[in-house]
Chains A and B, each alone.
Chain A
Amino acid sequence: MSMFVIGYYAALITASCIAAYFQNRKAFMLLFSLTLVSFVLGIVGGVPALRGVTIFAGILALAAGTSYAFREFLIQVCSPAIAKELRTAPLTAAFGMFVIFTYAIAGIFAPWIAPFDQSEVIASAFEPPNEDMLLGADQLGRDMFSRIIFGARNSVGLALVATVLAFVIGALAGLYSAVKGGWLDQLSGRVADVIMSVPSLIFALLILSIFGTNLWVIVVVVAIIYSPRVFRLTRAVAGNVVVMDYVEAARLRGEGDWHLIRKEILPNSTAPLIAEFGLEFCFVFLLIAGLSFLGLGIQPPTADWGSMVRENATLISFGDITPLIPAAAIALLTVAVNFVVDWMLFRSSGLKEQ
């Protein structure tokens, strides 16, 4: 038996004993059941399986540690009011914030971080990783790592702009419908129904093949596809606020609609809207990645994660994981955003106030 295996079991059993001694029931159950599972795993899979478990646990611990440190960092940096909220954030949310923060840095400082330009051909096609190229080269011999970094800027940036636009359109329409009611409400409601009744991907493909794959066309089309969802949510949330006495008081004071929306209704419906923003951002991001994958999104040679998956898809048949890297980047961001959104949803659901 190798030293590794002996050390592995010794560490697990010691940790279980310590947890039991300090009466930490959850930690003990986790550690000890892991020990028991490891017996079976060690017999079936041998040393590599145990090594896999160790690496997985290590990564998990590293992520947890990073999240914890990052949360403490944010608490120190932010103003007292925000810091108080941040203290309630679970580690998953801190992890999400950390990932988003990393992506933002990558996107903003892409030209400085990336060693090569996104369209610069520096090697032969599909060259494996070496000390110049962290992740190897793509089908035209461009540096994969640089393209991932630039992709953060292009894909995320585009998704962000489209989501913000969808929110501006949807939220404004929703708020006005809630305040005005009557035919305006009916009209915007039916328009939203019509847009929602067309499958989003087909609608996007249709419009893009008519107007061509211009960046702005993509932004506007995606914004229009997603604004009805925002509209419906905003209308529902604002509908609950509009009936409040303070809105009636403001109306009787003679305030205009814009004041009602800005001062009375919007501040009281931001929480669900922010949570929805995170969710919608994921959907928009995936839609744009999907469009790029189909060749109707961001056009080459601009780096984009969706199209990068498609361009390198042939490598899959050779058992290479290169095309999965941009896909993983998409997945990680989606998961991260959802972690943060979950936390915000939990807060806005009012459970905290009780």
Chain B
Amino acid sequence: MSKYHNKSVLLEIRDLKIDGYADETWVPIIKGVDLTLRRGEVLGLIGESGAGKSTIGAAAMGYARDGTRISEGSIEFDGMELTTATSAEKRALRGSRIAYVAQSAAASFNPAHKLIDQHTEAPLHYRIKKRMEAQEDAMELYERLRLPNPTEIGFRYPHQVSGGQLQRAMTAMAMSCRPDLIIFDEPTTALDVTTQIEVLAAIRDIVDQFDTAAIYITHDLAVVAQMADTIKVLLKGEEVEHASTEKMLDAPEEDYTKSLWAVRSFKRPQKSRPEDDSRPVISVQGVDAAYTGGAKVLDDISFEIYPGMTVAVVGESGSGKSTAARVITGLLPPMSGEVLCRGEALPPRYQDRTRDQLRQAQMIYQMADTALNPKSRISDIIGRPAQFYSGLKGQGLKQRVDELLDLIELDPAKFYNRFPPELSGGQKQRIGIARALAAEPEFIICDEVTSALDQLVAEGILKLLDRLQQELGLAYMFITHDLATVRSIADEVVVMQNGKVVEQGAKEEMFTPPHHPYTDLLLSSVPEMDPNWLTTLLEERGVDNIGEAASV
């Protein structure tokens, strides 16, 4: 904090209270938060989903989202009180003096206009620059953000550039009027680790260069450690702790903060393949696959999953991880190669498989929201597979559902008759696990099961999966891009890139050098809790080629 002590205060929020409208009453979301931001300072806001991070971020622009209202407190931006300002006054600030970078750049750009036209919109609107001037400035910003072909890329449409580039273009756009404050709302959450780095580096440089103040909202501690000067931890609309980044990392005071820090500590011993000649549960052999009319998505994929083992499949998005899962489940028949289950070849299409073959391989999905039918009761969701495969009825079925709910540590009396929308994200994911277990499978595909969850909740899910594996002897295929998860739960790792298996083997081997260059890239891209990690990494890789390395 000391670095900015002599600078003037840019944003001052005092005792902010925000209400949200739910069930026909106003309930408090933010319960009195204070915040001071000086010029050039970067503040990290962290907390679980629902902690009110984004709501505070929006409030810093004097904006209350639909269904929320600022009920009390003051928001003072550079001497101007935003809670009482007229909407015209606030509008004049937004875009020119306060800018916002949203989580999903792909959803935030208008697909019908070229990047540069959207970029120059604000400067033209506020009569800050002429069009040609603004375009030149845009190209300069693109260059500073290390976008490839800075003079040309602006004339593309949003769908013609990659996700990481789009996120950087959006940061450039936020910079177009040289604002005093930028609010970054989870700008890298939707990106792969490798792409995340280029965006992080770009954001940090540009914020430094223009001495812009920023509020950086994220749930990833390691990321915030790279970006922020001070960190504020939020829990359920209240501030838990506020300190400088170094202090927060070295000596957190509150228990909640400590528990956030400790999350990545879950690790279980690695198991090795069974010594006897038992056959693998699932064996994928030389599989090629493509979607109709497209190029090959999978190219000669082979790996094996033995009973009771966890095989993690890692890679960037687009590397074919999920496609491999679709081939195993039979949703996408392979062009060549086959999938064996305990030595028997499975029919390529799921429609041709027998009920028992279908039962063997169950799936747990990434988005628990879309994985559970919102109009079915929990008892039906879990009960249906039990009824379908085992033919249970009446009392027997009810008992089985109770048993499964106990297994996933949810109280049957409380959850039996409820509907999915009434549950929290972690509870929904547990129901998804119970549905898979109800079929009594030997093998479960976990497709990014923890990536949509908060870290504490995710850890709970990982521990549950681990316990179930020990009790029921399940084999998991764990699809993920998060190497921290791999480190904690996997026995074997399969690294995929561009539809090919780059490297595979036992976890310990994979995490000790020498690696395949791609594995190395993936591993070194995982943010660490050290605040100097990004700086060191950039020095190692060389500033100029990080974009290159990531977009390979």
A interface list, Cβ under 8 A from B: 87, 244-246, 248-255, 263-264, 267-268, 354
Contacts and interface: CB of A to CB of B under 8 A. Distances in A.
A244 B363 contact: no
A263 B375 CA distance: 9
Contacts of A263: 373, 376, 380, 384
B322 to A, nearest CB: 12
A251 B329 CA distance: 10
Given A254-B358, A354-B66, A249 B388 contact: no
Contact of B375 (A249, A252, A267): A267
Given A246-B371, A263-B380, 4 more contacts: A249-B435, A252-B330, A263-B384, A268-B375
Contacts of A246: 370-373
A268 B374 CA distance: 8
Nearest to B356: A254
A253 B439 CA distance: 9
For chain A, what secondary structure do more than half of its interface residues adopt (helix, strand, loop), or is it mixed? helix
Contacts of A244: 370-371, 373
Contact of B67 (A253, A267, A354): A354
Contact of B331 (A248, A255, A264): A248
Nearest to A268: B375
A267 B385 contact: no
B365 A245 contact: yes
A254 B370 contact: no
A286 to B, nearest CB: 33
Given A246-B373, A267-B373, A252 B350 contact: yes
Interface string B502-529: 0000000000000000000000000000
Nearest to A267: B375
A264 B420 CA distance: 13
Nearest to B326: A248
Contacts of B329: 252
Nearest to A266: B375
A246 B388 CA distance: 16
B350 A249 contact: no
Nearest to B65: A354
Contact of B365 (A87, A249, A251, A255): A249
Interface residues of B, number: 29
Contacts of B330: 252
A254 B355 contact: yes
Highest count of chain B CB atoms <10 Å: which of A245, A263, A264: A245
Contacts of B355: 254
B330 to A, nearest CB: 7
Interface in B367-405: 367, 370-376, 380, 384-385, 388-389
A251 B353 CA distance: 12
The 10 closest A-B pairs by CB, nearest first: A267-B375, A245-B371, A245-B365, A246-B373, A254-B358, A245-B370, A244-B370, A354-B67, A254-B355, A252-B329
17 contacts: A244-B370, A244-B373, A245-B365, A246-B371, A249-B363, A251-B331, A252-B329, A252-B330, A252-B350, A252-B362, A252-B363, A255-B388, A263-B384, A267-B373, A267-B376, A268-B373, A268-B375
A354 B385 CA distance: 32
Given A254-B358, A267-B376, A249 B371 contact: yes
A249 B389 CA distance: 14
A248 B366 CA distance: 13
Contacts of A255: 388
A252 B350 CA distance: 7
Contacts of B367: 245
B477 to A, nearest CB: 14
Nearest to A87: B24
Contacts of A268: 373-375
A54 B550 CA distance: 75
A345 to B, nearest CB: 18
Contacts of A253: 358, 384-385, 388-389, 439
A252 B67 contact: no
Contact of B388 (A87, A248, A254, A354): A254
A268 B419 CA distance: 13
A250 to B, nearest CB: 8
Contacts of B370: 244-246
B40 to A, nearest CB: 37
Contacts of B353: 254
A255 B358 CA distance: 11
